[in-house]
Structures are given as C-alpha cells and as structure tokens.
C-alpha cells in the first residue's frame, strides 16, 4: 500500500509514487553533542554534505528521480537531459538554502517536483520553506513533504503550499488523510488561501 | 468583550474534535510520547510532578462572569475545586486527568474558551494591561488589536513549530503595564503626529535563563501592517533561530547574535515582500473587532461620592483596603478594583471554585459582568461605581478576596514551583507564604509601601523574578533547594533587570533576609521614597553588607 497522499484539484487521494527518492550515501560525521545531549537539529546554512557523498550518490539510470540539492547543484550537467524531459526533481533538507537552489536553477518551474525533507517532525522550518517556494519563488508544480511526515502536521503543510505528503511508512496514509481537513475556517491567510477570514467573509 | 461568531466557534469546536482524536490515538499507542508531546503542549497540557497540568487561555486577561462560573465548575468537576491564575493572565488546573481533557475542552468551548497554544513552541497567549479600556493614562485601547493578533496567531500554519515559545505583549498606555520590553515581540500603540494609530515595535526581550530587555526594531509602524510585520519577524526567527540547543533557541539569542541592525535588515527584507499582502488589516476588520470593546454604558456620576467618603472616614479597615485596591478610572465616579488572590498564607494566584463563583457574581452585580486577570495574579473588576465600593468590599472580604496588600510586599508574584512543576529546581509557594507571615502586620506593610517581590522556582522565570524589586530564584545545589536574591529589577517604562546580591540562602533564611533588606531601606529612605528608588540611588552595596554581615562575622570567627 502506498504511503503517498496527493492533492489533485484539492481532493486528497492515495497515489502510487512515480518518483525515485535518491538518497545520499551515509556520511562519516560524528554524532554532535552539547551539554551531554545529542544535537538533533542542523543549523540553517550548515554545510553537511561532503564532496565524497556527492560524487558517491548513485542516480538510477532510468525513470523519474528526485535528487539531493547538493547533488543537483554539483552534477547538473549530467542531469540536464533528464531535467529537460521532466524526469528530474530535487529535494532539500530543512537547513538548506532556497537561494542556493534558485541560483542553480533560475526557472524552478522547469522542475516537475521539489520535495522538502524533514528529518524530525518538530522542525517547523519546513513550513517557511514551502511558503517561500510558493510565494517568493513562484513555484507551481508538485511540492512534496518527505521524511518524518506525520498526520498531525498535514493541515499546516497543506496551508504552507505542499501538495503531496509521503507519510512515514510505519503509519497509515489512509487514516492520515482526514487531518488535512482538521479545520474548515482558518483565520489567517496562507499559501492555500491567501485571504484571511476577514477578507473571505462579511463577518 | 469579544464575542465569537460562527467562524470563531467552529474553530474551537473543531479543535476539541481534533484533540479528542489525538488523545484517543495516544492512549491506543498509535502516537508515541514524543509525537504526542507537542500536540498536548499546544493544547496547554503538561505532564507534571503529580498529575497533568492544564493551562486554559484567557486572551489578554479578559473574562466574563459566565466564563468564570464555567472555570469554577470545571475546577470542581475535574480538579480539586481550585485553579491557579498565572503571570500570563491564564488559568491553570493542577490535577486534571489526561483522559478528561477533551471533555474539559468541550466544556470550555461552550463559553467561547479554549487552551490553544497556551504552551509549546508556538505563539502564546497575547497579554496586555489589566486596566485596558479604563486607565486614565491610556492613549489607545489595545484590546481590539490584541484580538486581531490572537486570531492571526491561532493555528498560523507557518509558525506551528517554532524553535521555542514565542510571547507577544501589547500596550497602549503612557506608563507600560504589560512589560512589552520583556517579550519576544512587544507592541506599543500610540497616536503619531498625524493622530493615526501607530506601533513602536520591540523585539528580543525575555526573562528565563538569559534575561534581556527588548530592543526597538521599528519606531513607527502603521497599524494596518501589524500582522505582516510580525510575520516577517517570526519568519526570520523560524528559519534562523537555533534549534540545536533549547537554551539558546529564543529569538533574543538570535537578535543578540546577529546584532539588531543585521536582524532588522533581514526582517525589513522579508517585510518588503509581505507588506500589503492580504493579511494586512482592513479598517472594516479593526472596526468590527473594536465594537466589542466599546465603552460600557456608564452612568453620569460626580467625582466624589458622599457615602464612600463617609465609609473611608469611619472605617479604617475599609480605608486601608481602598487605598491599595482602588485604581483611577477614565470615567468620573468609577474605579477599577483589584481583588487580591494574595491572602497571607495562601498560594499566590490560587482561587477556589467558591471564590471564582463569588467573583463572577460580584462582576455581574458591580462591573457589567466582566473581569480581568492581571499578570500580578490578581483579579480586577474594571468598572465599579464608588458608591458600590463598600458593599463590594464587604462581600469580597467574606470570601477572603480583600487583603489590603495590593502592590505591597506580600502581593507576591509566584510560580507554582517545586510543589507542582516538574521543571522547578525548588519550591516557591512555601517561601511566599513564609514571607507573607513574616510581614503579617498591616501597619508595617503599609509603612514599607510599594514593593514588588517576585519568586520563580527555576530559571525559566515564570514568576518574573528578574523584574521584581526583590527577586527570588530557586536553584538546585547538589540536590538541595537554595534561593538566590536579586535587587533592583522593575517593570514599566524604566524596566530593569535585578542584580544578584551574593551567595544563595536556604529556605529557612529567606524571611529573615527579606526583613534585613527592608530594614536597610527603612533606615536609608528619603521621605516618601519607594523601595526601588532607594535601591537605585544607593546601589546594592549597603543591602548586601547588611544581609551578609552575620554570615561574614560567623566566617571571621571560624577563621580566627
């Protein structure tokens, strides 16, 4: 059973995933600790990917691929033909920079998909990244949340411009769908509905 | 006060359903502790020392009689028949069952209340001056804007999971009573040279482990842009605030790290894109909300009331109470009245169900059916006729709500501390009670005069100890409870953070330490000088010398 929820014309459906998620090979990085505690979140802008990892990333020769931002930037020439055929997309981590993406790819709408990978569900940077991709960078194609994606964040992800959600595989996507509609009349404007309640209704 | 329409009501009703389902999934083992944690916290539910604690939102401190009756009933049915009013103007229940919380929320929704975003890493309850709308020094009633901002911040999708909690205070008075400088964002409303409503925006203040007063990020912001400007600030914080270390995750650390100039540059860059977006507040929306805060239907009264004057002259106990508890009002013949939740020997800020019912009735009878919670943890009836003051006092006194100590040493601000809170390093309520008993002599208390004594059981500073004239902080040393004392903190326009006077004390020593600080003040004060002014004039040295004199003498003996 697929764990992917897609919004199509505002209707949520469980769909088969057409995209292959290309992961980076594991790094040799040590576990960072602060005051005896493992550091759970990476700092925004922190460089975490090594040239060896970028070079060592295996990109499947066929089919649609979503590649890590660092690989996309460093190996763009190699990917160009597939980008032109709408068979390559990109994913970035919540600590990575949209400016880097936009510098490497001026026309984001040439990409059929962008995904934001959230390592831990409590990392709310994903909401700002989605919002910026839609409102600042004008991205119009599929925007997907991947990683630690759980039902109780879906409503916020949808409002932040995400249109597909790869629910963590140990959870039911079928049950999660309900939470996309936890609230029917949100107060503030956001990506999915730019008008706040006071502009939508004569209150 | 603000009344819900269908949109407001559907939102809290849907919240109850959502949280009921989340609780069900948690109890069924479908949500882990870690996954449930931010969900329950954003609904005000902490797991505490003895039982969960539920924090109920009281937006900008406003309550109706009906709502307070409901809180009293909930406390009776689901808790031990009392509640605790907090320094964020909210109410906390200390003993609810986790399983009962969805039902409690459903009860709250019936009276247009909720527990949304009263905890967790999100935008918290927006606080303001407890005398909003009635204070003579008020330039702008901040409540309509506070309500507009409450709605904007409720389930704001982009800011649902911030690096850390985020607190906003608004104020519209000449003399700040909302401690805007001690908030992540402080908004000071004023009328500009064109007599238009404008906002001075402060950012990066906060107490807690690293107390810092805020910095002005914008001197003049037109009111229409309040929401989009906050979005710019919170977006920069959401993206760049530190998530790697909880102790460095507040916006104040980011502002200090970048410097206010660079932080402001980033915010203004963001705002250039957000300015005039649909979240820009319309005249119609502000007017719609403001009509809920129209002045009450006041009677035309004289400045003085003969029966009141006679009661003051003939009844010293009433006079002592009135002196402390009645506050000036915009309208002749009216006063705002503080009902003290600081009866000596009781936990500061606690009210029994019986007291809550009584206050709700008093508000209905004497103050248009509304009341406010102050950040000093008292209850305020904002619109009482002078001619009703004596009758009100008699009824309040019968309920133990008329201690004549408002604004005095025993009007202690105090967090729940180690008796309840699992974050606390030390107990705070017993310290407050011991100090109240030490200063139980009313004449002495009035002679000491205005003094703010604040106690926190840990460095999270829920008891605002940094801005107490005398601040007491519970600390843990090798598993035992000790108390550090600061002097010279204050709220208001001249807000300042207190200075630590020296090594910490045991619980038993604390009443005596406060007594010594007071004795220095009494011997050194000039005329009517307040405690805080004496501290500012002399510095902490003479206080320190006197407090530690015995200890130093004892040490000298040992050395000799």
Percent of chain A predicted with pLDDT > 70: 100
Confidence of residue B10 (pLDDT cuts 50, 70, 90): very high
Tokens encoding B411: 């009007």
Report chain B residues whose CB lies below 8 A from the CB of A121.
Answer: 35, 161
Inter-chain residue contact B39 with A152, CB threshold 8 Å? yes
Contact A196 B284 (CB under 8 A): no
Name the residue in chain B with its Cα closest to that of A129: B239
Domains annotated on chain A, with CATH: 4-22+46-195 (3.40.50)
Q: Is the ipTM of this complex over 0.95?
A: yes
Element (H, E) at B383: strand B379-385
Calculate what percentage of chain B has a pLDDT beyond 90: 91
Q: Flag if B157 and A41 touch (Cβ within 8 Å).
A: no
| Helix ranges, chain A (H) | 51-56, 69-74, 76-84, 98-104, 125-135, 154-159, 173-176, 197-200
Q: What is the pLDDT of residues A135-181, one digit of tens each?
A: 999 999 999 999 999 999 999 999 999 999 999 999 999 999 999 99
DSSP string, B107-124: HHHHTT---TTSSSSSB-
A185 in contact with B, Cβ within 8 Å = yes
Mean pLDDT of B400-405: 96
Q: Which of residues 99-158 of A touch B (CB under 8 A)?
A: 121-125, 127-128, 131, 135-136, 150, 152-153, 155-158
Q: What pLDDT band is residue B555 in, cutting at 50, 70 and 90?
A: low
The alpha-carbon gap from B360 to the nearest alpha carbon of chain A, in Å, equals 30
B40, B159, B243, B270: best to mutate for the A interface, most A CBs within 10 A: B243
CA distance B158 to B151: 14
What is the reported pLDDT for B209? 84
Please provide the average confidence, as pLDDT, over all residues in chain B: 95
Question: What residue in A sits closest to B240 (Cα-Cα)?
Answer: A44
Q: Which domains does chain B have, with CATH numbers?
A: 6-110 (3.90.480.20), 143-291 (3.30.413.10), 306-398 (3.90.480.20), 413-559 (3.30.413.10)
Lowest-pLDDT range, A169-178, B15-24, B206-215, B216-225?
A: B206-215
The answer to whether residue B219 scores a pLDDT higher than 80 is yes
Query: Using the beta-carbon criterion (under 8 Å), do B152 and A187 form an inter-chain contact?
Result: yes
Give the model confidence (pLDDT) of A71-106 as tens digits.
999 999 999 999 999 999 999 999 999 999 999 999
The reported pLDDT for the residue numbered B102 is 97
* pLDDT > 70 fraction of chain B, expressed in percent and rounded: 99
- Say if residue B388's pLDDT is above 90: yes
Question: Does the pLDDT value for residue B173 go beyond 60?
Answer: yes
A20 torsion bin: left (phi>0), alpha (psi -120 to 50), beta (else): beta
Say whether B7 and A135 touch across the interface (CB within 8 A): no
Radius of gyration of chain B (CA): 23
Between B125 and B308, residue with greater pLDDT: B308
DSSP A45: T
Question: Which residue in B14, B244, B282 is closest to A198 by CB distance?
Answer: B282
Q: List pLDDT tens digits, range B53-71.
A: 999 999 999 999 999 999 9
Torsion (CA) B518, B521, B522, B528 in degrees, nearest 10: -120
Which residues in chain B have Cβ-Cβ distances shorter than 8 Å to A40?
243-244
Sheet holding B413-414, edge to edge: B413-414, B453-456, B470-477, B480-487, B499-500
Query: Three-state DSSP class for B194?
Result: coil
A5 touches chain B (CB under 8 A): no
* Residue B295: Cβ-neighbour burial (10 angstroms; 0-12, 13-18, 19+): exposed
**Chain A 50-109, residues with CB within 8 Å of chain B CB atoms:** none
- CB-based contact B243 A123, cutoff 8 Å: yes
Query: Which SS3 state, helix, strand or coil, does residue A117 take?
Result: strand
Contact B244 A183 (CB under 8 A): no
> B499: helix, coil or strand?
strand
User: A203 in contact with B at a CB cutoff of 8 Å?
Assistant: yes
Q: How far apart, in Å, are the Cα atoms of B49 and each of B41, B138, B257, B421, B425? A: 16, 42, 35, 6, 12
């Amino acid at each position: 059973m697929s764990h992917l929820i897609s919004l199509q014309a505002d209707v949520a459906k469980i769909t088969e995933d057409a995209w292959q998620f290309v992961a980076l090979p594991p790094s040799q990085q040590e576990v960072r600790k602060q005051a005896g505690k493992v550091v759970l979140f990476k700092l925004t802008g922190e460089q975490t990917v090594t040239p060896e990892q970028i070079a060592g990333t295996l990109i499947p020769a066929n089919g649609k691929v979503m590649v890590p931002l660092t690989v996309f930037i460093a190996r763009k020439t190699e990917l160009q033909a597939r980008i032109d055929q709408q068979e390559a997309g990109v994913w970035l981590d919540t600590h990575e920079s949209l400016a880097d993406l936009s510098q490497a790819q001026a026309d984001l709408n040439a990409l059929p998909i962008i995904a934001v990978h959230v390592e831990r569900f409590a990392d709310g940077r994903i909401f700002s990244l989605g919002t910026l991709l839609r409102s600042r960078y004008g991205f119009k194609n599929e925007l997907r949340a991947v990683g630690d994606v759980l039902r109780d964040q879906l409503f916020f992800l949808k409002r932040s411009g995400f249109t597909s959600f790869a629910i963590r595989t140990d959870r039911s996507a079928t049950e999660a769908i309900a939470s996309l509609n936890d609230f029917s009349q949100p107060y503030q404007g956001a990506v999915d509905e730019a008008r706040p309640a006071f502009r939508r209704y004569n209150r | 006060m603000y009344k819900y329409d269908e949109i407001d009501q559907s939102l809290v009703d849907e919240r109850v359903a959502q949280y009921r389902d989340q609780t069900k999934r948690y109890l069924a083992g479908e949500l882990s502790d870690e996954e449930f944690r931010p969900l329950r916290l954003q609904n005000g539910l902490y797991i505490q020392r003895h039982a969960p604690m539920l924090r109920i939102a009281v937006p900008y401190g406003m309550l109706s009689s009906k709502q307070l009756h409901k809180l009293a009933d909930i406390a009776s049915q689901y808790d031990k028949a009392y509640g605790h009013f907090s320094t964020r103007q909210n109410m906390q229940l200390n003993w609810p069952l986790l399983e009962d919380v969805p039902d409690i929320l459903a009860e709250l929704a019936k009276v247009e209340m909720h527990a949304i975003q009263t905890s967790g890493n999100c935008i918290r309850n927006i606080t303001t001056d407890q005398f909003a709308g009635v204070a003579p020094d008020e330039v702008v009633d901040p409540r309509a804007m506070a309500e507009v901002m409450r709605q904007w911040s409720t389930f704001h999708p982009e800011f649902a999971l911030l690096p850390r909690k985020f607190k906003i205070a608004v104020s519209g008075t000449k003399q700040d009573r909302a401690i805007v400088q001690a908030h992540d964002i402080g908004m000071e409303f004023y009328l500009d040279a064109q007599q238009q409503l404008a906002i001075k925006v402060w950012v990066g203040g906060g107490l807690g482990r690293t107390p810092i007063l805020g910095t002005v990020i914008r001197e003049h912001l037109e009111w229409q842009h309040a929401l989009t400007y906050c979005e710019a600030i919170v977006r920069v914080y959401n993206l760049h605030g530190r998530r790697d270390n909880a102790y460095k995750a507040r916006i104040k650390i980011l502002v200090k790290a970048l410097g206010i100039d660079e932080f402001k540059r980033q915010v203004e860059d963001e705002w250039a894109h957000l300015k005039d977006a649909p979240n820009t507040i319309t005249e119609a929306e502000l007017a719609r909300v403001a009509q809920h805060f129209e002045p009450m239907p006041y009677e035309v009264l004289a400045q003085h009331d003969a029966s009141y004057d006679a009661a003051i002259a003939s009844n010293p106990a009433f006079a002592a109470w009135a002196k402390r508890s009645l506050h000036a009002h915009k309208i002749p013949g009216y006063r705002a009245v503080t009902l003290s939740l600081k009866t000596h020997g009781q936990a500061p800020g606690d009210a029994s169900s019986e007291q809550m019912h009584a206050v709700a009735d008093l508000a209905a009878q004497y103050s248009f059916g509304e009341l406010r919670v102050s950040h000093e943890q008292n209850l305020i009836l904002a619109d009482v006729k002078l001619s009703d003051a004596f009758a009100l006092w008699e009824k309040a006194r019968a309920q133990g709500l008329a201690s004549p100590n408002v604004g005095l040493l025993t009007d202690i601000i105090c967090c729940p501390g180690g008796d309840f809170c699992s974050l606390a390093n030390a107990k705070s309520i017993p310290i407050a009670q011991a100090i109240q008993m030490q200063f139980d002599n009313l004449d002495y208390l009035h002679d000491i005069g205005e003094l703010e004594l604040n106690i926190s059981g840990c460095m999270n500073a829920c008891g605002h100890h940094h801005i107490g004239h005398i601040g007491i902080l519970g600390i843990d040393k090798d598993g035992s409870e000790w108390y550090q004392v600061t002097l010279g903190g204050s709220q208001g326009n001249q807000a300042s953070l207190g200075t630590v006077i020296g090594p910490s004390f045991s619980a038993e020593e604390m009443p005596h330490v406060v007594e010594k600080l007071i004795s220095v003040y009494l011997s050194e004060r000039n005329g009517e000088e307040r405690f805080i002014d004496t501290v500012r004039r002399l510095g902490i040295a003479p206080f320190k010398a006197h407090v530690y004199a015995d200890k130093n003498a004892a040490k000298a003996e040992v050395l000799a």
